[in-house]
């Protein structure tokens, strides 16, 4: 990681590099995943089994777990871990329940009725990695808002461990979050099974959750067959700091995201050159104690940078252009500047709100837009698991009043059948048709 001085050019060269990374695709992976998807579509459970043997070596003896079996894992985990999961679930629930919307209807004096019906999706699939990247927190972040939305059934897929059994911590989190059924299957074949349905694995309406490049590619290719949360890119953190920030805090937070992936980006924008230098020294000191230091170092070398800015306005302008997944405002008066942030997945205010607080515990969702998509995408929420239908009721009299305008609009567009659909009912001399 190097220190550079913002000049309106160098910082945007970094931005261009990050955008190029986001747009990279591997044709070989796309081809391989397409083959898997087509195989599962045609072959169902047998194809899922074959791909599981090919990629994982064997098929676990027990594949399916119902709700009672899921809950049994609560007795297999460390009690302290269980308590932490329960507390996190409560915080996540409290935050997301405020997002819930109600159906509505309005009636005009003319008798016209309009409204919107909001209801949860019927069935949702959650993909949860089960290898070295086993994240119980992701179970909570995906399942809790789905439950609040009124999703009728939550299906979780997760690869088995080397012993053929599920990760007990993931299963315990699934129990706390309210998952209805778990299937021990992973990879692109699991995503395809959820999208199309097999003899055993039910077809879902939406697939959410993180995964490796094969899982992400499968979700991308199957969008349209099934809804997805988003196509997630490498993790990102951008910290804006002034001279009041603590270098040791900044170093720790930068590394917390860099350890996710060699392609993760960790950037510090600061108005203090001395803070920039001290942060580098803190990185060198702290990284020696961390298990994933090689990943962190590679991430810093390729996609990390400390940029010294003239002022916070310059830093925030760049932050809005980058639209990072995670944005920290480690400044003296963070609330003063939060209104200047237009594009960010999640914003962490002050020196005592480190990024992992959002990853695990505080309540806001950690499934966030990456690769600059925070310009137009939002974090996973209750809205992600609902569908909305509008409804319209007109009386004969009100339809007759509106006919000329509607027919004019239709005929202007050259859609004469549309115009005719209005003309026919209003041409009746007696408006005596039933009104209900």
Q: Which of the residues are catalytic? A: 325-326
Distances (CA, A) of 404 to 112, 409, 415, 419: 18, 9, 14, 9
Let me know: does 210 contact 368? Beta carbons within 8 Å.
no
Locate tokens 């409804």: which residue?
391
Measured between alpha carbons, how far is 273 from 5 in angstroms, rounded to an integer?
9
φ, ψ for residue 328, nearest 5 deg: -110, 135
Residue 335 Cα to chain centre, angstroms: 26
Please give the DSSP secondary-structure letter assigned to residue 119: E
Measured between alpha carbons, how far is 148 from 254 in angstroms, rounded to an integer?
33
DSSP code per residue over 121-149: -SEEEEE---STT--HHHHHHHHHHHHHH
Measured between alpha carbons, how far is 212 from 42 in angstroms, rounded to an integer?
24
The continuous run of DSSP H or E covering 240 comes out as strand 236-241
Candidates 192, 229, 190; CA nearest to 385 is 229
Burial level of 202, CB count in 10 A (0-12/13-18/19+)? Answer: middle
| N- to C-terminal Cα separation, the chain | 70
């Amino acid at each position: 990681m190097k220190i550079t001085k913002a000049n309106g050019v160098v910082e945007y060269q970094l931005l261009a590099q990050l955008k190029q990374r986001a747009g990279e695709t591997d044709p070989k992976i796309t081809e391989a995943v397409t083959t898997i998807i087509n195989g599962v579509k045609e072959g169902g459970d047998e194809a899922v089994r074959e791909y599981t043997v090919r990629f994982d070596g064997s098929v676990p003896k027990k594949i399916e777990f119902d709700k009672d079996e899921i809950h049994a894992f609560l007795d297999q985990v460390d009690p302290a871990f269980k308590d932490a999961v329960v507390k996190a679930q409560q915080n996540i629930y409290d935050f997301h329940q405020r997002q819930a919307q109600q159906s509505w209807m309005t009636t005009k004096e003319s008798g016209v009725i309009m409204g919107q019906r909001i209801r949860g999706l019927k069935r949702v699939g959650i993909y949860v990695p089960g290898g070295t990247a086993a994240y119980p927190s992701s179970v909570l972040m995906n399942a809790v808002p789905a439950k609040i939305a009124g999703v009728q059934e939550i299906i979780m897929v997760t690869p088995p461990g080397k012993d053929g059994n599920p990760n007990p911590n993931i299963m315990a989190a699934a129990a706390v979050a309210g998952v209805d059924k778990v299937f021990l299957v992973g990879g692109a074949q699991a995503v395809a099974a959820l999208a199309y349905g097999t003899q055993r694995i039910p077809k879902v309406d939406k697939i959410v959750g993180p995964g490796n490049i094969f899982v992400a590619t499968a979700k991308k290719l199957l969008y349209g067959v099934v809804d997805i949360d988003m196509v997630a890119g490498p993790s990102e953190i951008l910290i804006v700091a002034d001279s009041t920030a603590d270098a040791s805090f900044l170093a720790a937070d930068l590394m917390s995201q860099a350890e996710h992936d060699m392609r993760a980006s960790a950037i510090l924008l600061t108005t203090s050159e001395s803070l920039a230098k001290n942060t580098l020294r803190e990185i060198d000191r702290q990284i020696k104690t961390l298990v994933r230091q090689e990943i962190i170092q590679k991430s810093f070398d390729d996609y990390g940078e400390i940029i010294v800015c003239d002022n916070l306005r310059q830093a925030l302008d760049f932050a809005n252009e980058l639209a990072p997944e995670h944005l920290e405002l480690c400044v003296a008066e963070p609330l003063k500047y939060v209104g200047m942030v237009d594009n960010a997945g999640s914003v962490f205010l002050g020196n005592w709100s480190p990024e992992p607080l959002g990853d695990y515990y505080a309540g806001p969702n950690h499934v966030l837009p990456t690769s600059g998509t925070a310009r137009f995408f939002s974090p996973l929420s209750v809205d992600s698991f609902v569908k909305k239908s509008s409804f319209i009721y007109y009386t004969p009299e009100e339809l007759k009043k509106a006919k000329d305008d509607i027919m004019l609009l239709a005929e202007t567009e050259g859609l004469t059948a549309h115009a005719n659909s209005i003309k026919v009912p209003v041409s009746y001399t007696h408006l005596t048709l039933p009104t209900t």
